[in-house]
Amino acid sequence: MTQTILILSDRPDGQVKQLSSSFHRLGVKTRTMHLADIGFDSRYPSGLAIPGLDGALPAAVVVRAVSSGTFEAITRRLGILHAFAHLGIPVWNSAKAIERCVDKSTTTFFLARAGLPTPETFTVESLEHARAIVERESPNGPLVLKPLFGSQGRGIRLIEGPQDLPVPEEVDDVYYLQRFVARTGPPFRDYRVFTCDGQVLGMMARCADGWITNIAKGAKAEPVTGLLQAKLEALALAASQAIGTDFAGIDIVPAADGGLLVLEVNSMPAWTGLQSVVPVRVADCIARALAARVFPRLGERPAA
| 3-state SS assignment for residue 140 | helix
| Beta pairing class for 121-125 and 157-159 | unpaired
| 3-state SS assignment for residue 272 | helix
Question: Residue 96: which of 83, 108, 82 has the closest Cα?
Answer: 82
pLDDT tens profile 81-133: 999 999 999 999 999 999 999 999 999 999 999 999 999 999 999 999 999 99
- Dist CA 171 CA 149 (whole Å): 10
Residue 276: partners with Cβ closer than 8 Å, 6 or more residues away: 204, 221
All domains in the chain, ordered by first residue: 4-93+286-300 (3.40.50.20), 121-179 (3.30.1490.20), 183-267 (3.30.470.20)
- What pLDDT is stored for residue 253 in this prediction? 95
- What pLDDT is stored for residue 182 in this prediction? 85
Residue 199: partners with Cβ closer than 8 Å, 6 or more residues away: 237
- What pLDDT is stored for residue 297 in this prediction? 54
Q: Which residues of the chain have pLDDT under 50?
A: 298-304
- What pLDDT is stored for residue 152 in this prediction? 54
- Dist CA 28 CA 186 (whole Å): 46
Triad 9, 103, 234: Cα angle to 5°: 90
